[in-house]
Structure formats: structure tokens, C-alpha cells
Amino acid sequence: MVDISSILTKHKNEKENKGGLSPASLESAIAAAIGNDLEKNKAEVAQLYRETAEIAKTLYSPQADKGGFPAKSLDACLKKIIELLRAQDSHLLRLALGDYPLRESYLGYHALNVCILALAVAVPMKIENLVLIDLGLGAGEHG
């Protein structure tokens, strides 16, 4: 999260001591802070996407039939996905609409992408999280 108050405090202090930052300098400082925050968020979203795709791959593995399915991990990932979609984070949708990163992991990425797209449609409807998690699971297990 961008700490805009620290930027404004810095601007106020510099203004009192040296005549202040120009509006362009202040705008640059804010853009730099937001840019750093967005890059960090983008990396975190990409990591979540990869981790969830790995979990989704297990849906189609022999382990799933033997009780080796990591339900708690998937539940936690779905909650994070829902939170990002509620915050209107566009990085996740870009990943879901992009090319599959690994051909050999097609099923996992496809299941995840269908899940993300279904949730992206449902989240604006203000559906409660438990129902969204069920929807995400169902969308990921389609086929």
C-alpha cells in the first residue's frame, strides 16, 4: 500500500525548509511510490497465480483420488484471488487471459483461468465469500 502521508509530510518539510518541491517534483515522488507499490503487487500476484496453478494441477493427478489434494492451500489461494478481484486488481485478469506459461501444465492453468474468470464475473454481484469459493472450485473442476 502506498503511504501517501509520508510523501506529503516530506513535501511539507521541504517546503518549510527550502521553499518546497515543485508540483512536478511532488507528482514524480507520488508516481515513484505508486510505481514501486504496483511492481511489488504485480510480483505477488504472479507468485499467487503460479502457486494456485500448481495446486490446480493436482486436481487432475492420481494423488487427488488418494486423498492427496491440498484443500486448505487451495481455499487460502481462492480467498486471496477473491480479495484481489474485490480490489479490482487487473494483474490477475491479465495473467488469466494471457498465454499458458507451460504447455505441459495446460490443465492446471486452464482450470485456474476458468476459476478466475468465473469469480471476476461473480465478485461484482456482491456474493458472499463462501459461495464464491464454491463457485471457484466448481469452475476449476469443470470438464
List average pLDDT for each run of 10 residues in the chain, which is 143 residues long.
57 56 55 58 91 84 67 89 92 89 81 94 94 92 72
pLDDT of residue 108: 85
Residues in the chain: 143
Q: What is the pLDDT of residue 11?
A: 53
- Interhelix angle 106-122/71-86, rounded to 10 degrees, is 50
Amino acid 141: pLDDT: 83
What is the pLDDT at residue 83?
94
Of 131, 111, 100, the C-alpha closest to 64 is 111
Report how far residue 32's alpha carbon sits from residue 30's, in angstroms, rounded to the nearest whole number.
5
Task: Please tell me the number of Cα atoms within 13 Å of 66 on its side-chain side.
Answer: 5
DSSP state of 66: T
